[in-house]
Amino acid sequence: MSLENRRKHRRYVSWRPVVLELVGAGAGQKLRAILVDISFSGALVENGASLPMGQPVLIHLAQGGTPLASGVRAVVVGVAQGPGYLIRFRFLGIQTAEARGALARTIEDLRSGANLSEHVLQRPRRL
């Protein structure tokens, strides 16, 4: 498949929402390096959706029903199964200072062992 055909094909790919329950262990220490490891319990696959490597996702973070950050763009760069699951996101850019601050606070909460709900959504992307 030519590069142009791959671009056209990927333009219309979409995935269903996936809901992950996060736990405190394994939060990454390298926010500045745009690599964050997040451990979570629950299924990687829900309602037929999955998180394959390289999939672009939009992350919506909330704590206790309060939104912290939404629309944070990332790519899944690693998934492993152990006592729970470990997923590694490479963040593609955080557009606002509020989203950056919310993400940093969320990672601190994860380090301290707080439980959070994270909704990982993806919409069709344009090239």
Tokens of 30: 């390298």
CATH number at residue 28: 2.40.30
Task: Please check whether residue 42 lies inside any domain of the structure.
Answer: yes
What pLDDT was estimated at residue 72? 57
pLDDT in tens, 106-124: 656 555 544 444 433 333 3
User: Considering the domain boundaries, does residue 115 fall inside one?
Assistant: yes
Kindly state whether residue 60 falls inside one of the protein's structural domains.
Answer: yes
Q: What is the mean pLDDT of residues 15-26?
A: 33
Whether the Cβ atoms of residue 55 and residue 87 lie closer than 8 Å to each other:
no
| Residue 75 falls inside a structural domain | yes
Q: What is the pLDDT of residue 100?
A: 60
pLDDT value at residue 22? 35
What tens digit of pLDDT does each residue of 68-117 get? 555 556 666 665 555 444 456 565 655 556 656 666 666 565 555 444 44
- Asked if residue 85 is part of any domain, the answer here is yes
The residue range of the domain holding 113 is 3-121
The total number of structural domains in the chain stands at 1
Residue 127 lies in a domain: no
Whole-number Å distance between alpha carbons of 109 and 32: 17
Percent of the chain with pLDDT over 70: 0
